[in-house]
Amino acid sequence: MFCIEKLDKLLHDRDGFVSNNHLFDDYLKKFANQDIKRNKTRVYVAVQANDYVPKKIYGYFSILYE
């Protein structure tokens, strides 16, 4: 069963995420945490509810926060 969680670099395996679009991959791996720290966006990830840390990311979405 999947659940949605706020992205946390200590809990989620960003480096292991691979999609069909390298721009999406690069954003999650290189820029998402910077945008979160600057209060520009919120990023949420889909993970298995009972997964071990670091949790594999199956998908993500971001919401612009202003």
Question: Token pair for residue 41?
Answer: 């966006």
Question: Token pair for residue 21?
Answer: 């679009």
**CB-CB contact of 18 with 25 (8 Å):** yes
**CB-CB contact of 11 with 57 (8 Å):** no
pLDDT of residue 47: 98
pLDDT of residue 66: 72
pLDDT of residue 35: 96
**How far is it, in rounded angstroms, from Cα 66 to Cα 48?**
30
Q: Please list the pLDDT of the chain residue by residue as tens digits (66 residues).
A: 999 999 999 999 999 999 999 999 999 999 999 999 999 999 999 999 999 999 999 999 999 987
pLDDT of residue 65: 80
